[in-house]
């Protein structure tokens, strides 16, 4: 049986669209059809997340914990999940049942070296400010971003893969740490699966995400070492993009400006070892 764990902290505006997408091709009468077990872990919620999730019926099990912590929610989800392969899915993305099956297929072969999979990203940018669109035009083409399992809001693991990530400490960049826990030959981005990742719409909201990313990357580097935690963008990466497509020059300038500003803003939190303040972008949760 495949289990899906969804940590959710005050996600009343978006949890319904994810669950509806996941459940669209399951029978209304049989919660176990296709071997799919869905656990929504409402952590420290003060809104209607739990009620909205529970309204989807017996195919969704809702667990409530008082602590607003993604790490605690993931562990609680593991305690209640029933099987493998196991997916961890952020509440603010959109993933379909067919994508779940595509992600789990490589993990069912015991002879395979693949321990973890993730879907291709679809990032709808039409409603975003022009600088946000420019930033993502560059970000989506970076080698580490294309090959890594992070920044997708979804990771699927086999039982052996789960043992690898279960040993990780609580880190803000849990998806980056999970991606780096697997060697390139052990992880796979599945081209037949896709996830909709809603981006921030405004520049201030983008910067909140980038500051959070800068702080969390620093935390991962402190834990694993900068050599192992190799997800930073290099000057060589940007030069290669410009050689391939000189029209990206303005977008690269925007990308560099965002990166510099985010790292500068993140220094205070890093010096204070504040790896618990979650700078959340609300614009991506708008309808």
Residue 162's domain comprises: 84-285
Q: Euclidean distance between the first and final Cα of the chain, in Å? A: 33
Exposure string over 124-146, b if 16+ CB within 10 A, otherwise e: ebeebbebbbbbbbbbebbebbe
Helix boundaries (H) for the chain: 15-23, 49-54, 70-80, 97-104, 130-139, 143-147, 159-166, 174-180, 203-224, 235-244, 249-271
* Tokens at 222, concatenated: 């402190």
pTM: 0.91
pLDDT in single tens digits along all 287 residues of the chain: 999 999 999 999 999 999 999 999 764 444 444 568 999 999 999 999 999 999 999 999 999 999 999 999 999 999 999 999 999 999 999 999 999 999 999 999 888 899 999 999 999 999 999 999 999 999 999 999 999 999 999 999 999 999 999 988 888 778 888 999 999 999 999 999 999 999 999 999 999 999 988 888 888 888 776 555 556 788 999 999 999 999 999 999 999 999 999 999 999 888 888 777 766 778 887 76
| Domain assignment of residue 145, yes or no | yes
Q: What is the pLDDT of residue 32?
A: 46
> By three-state DSSP, how is residue 159 classified?
helix
Q: Per the domain annotation, does 199 fall within a domain? A: yes
> Is position 78 within any domain?
no
Contact 45, 66 (CB under 8 A): no
How many structural domains comprise the chain? Answer: 1
Q: Yes or no: say if 205 and 281 are a contact pair by the CB < 8 Å rule.
A: yes
Separation between Cα atoms, residue 275 and residue 269, nearest integer Å = 7
> Which pLDDT score, from 0 to 100, does residue 273 have?
86
Task: Judge whether 221 lies within some domain.
Answer: yes
12, 52 in Cβ contact below 8 A? yes
């Amino acid at each position: 049986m495949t289990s899906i764990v969804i940590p959710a902290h005050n996600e009343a505006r978006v949890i319904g669209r994810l669950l509806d997408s996941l459940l669209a091709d399951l029978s209304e009468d049989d919660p176990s059809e296709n071997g799919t077990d869905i656990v929504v872990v409402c952590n420290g919620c003060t809104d209607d997340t739990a009620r909205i999730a529970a309204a989807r019926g017996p195919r969704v099990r809702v667990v409530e914990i008082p602590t607003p912590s993604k790490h605690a929610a993931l562990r609680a989800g593991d305690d209640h999940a029933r099987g493998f392969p196991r997916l961890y899915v952020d509440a603010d993305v959109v993933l379909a049942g067919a994508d779940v099956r595509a992600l789990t297929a490589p993990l069912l072969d015991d002879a395979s070296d693949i321990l973890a999979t993730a879907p291709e990203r679809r990032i709808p940018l039409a409603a975003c400010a022009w600088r946000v669109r420019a930033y993502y035009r560059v970000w989506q083409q970076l080698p580490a971003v294309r090959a890594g399992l992070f920044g997708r809001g979804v990771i699927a693991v086999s039982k052996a893969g789960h043992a690898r990530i279960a040993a990780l400490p609580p880190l803000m960049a849990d998806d980056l740490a999970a991606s780096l826990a697997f060697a390139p030959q052990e992880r796979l981005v599945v081209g037949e699966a896709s996830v909709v990742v809603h981006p921030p719409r405004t520049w201030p909201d983008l910067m909140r995400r980038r500051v959070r990313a800068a702080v969390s990357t620093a935390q991962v580097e402190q834990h694993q070492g900068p050599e192992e935690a190799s997800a930073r963008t290099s000057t060589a990466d940007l030069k290669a993009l410009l050689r391939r497509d000189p029209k990206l020059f303005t977008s690269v300038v925007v990308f560099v400006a965002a990166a510099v500003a985010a790292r500068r803003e993140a220094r205070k939190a890093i010096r204070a070892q504040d790896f618990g303040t979650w700078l959340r972008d609300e614009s991506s949760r708008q309808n």
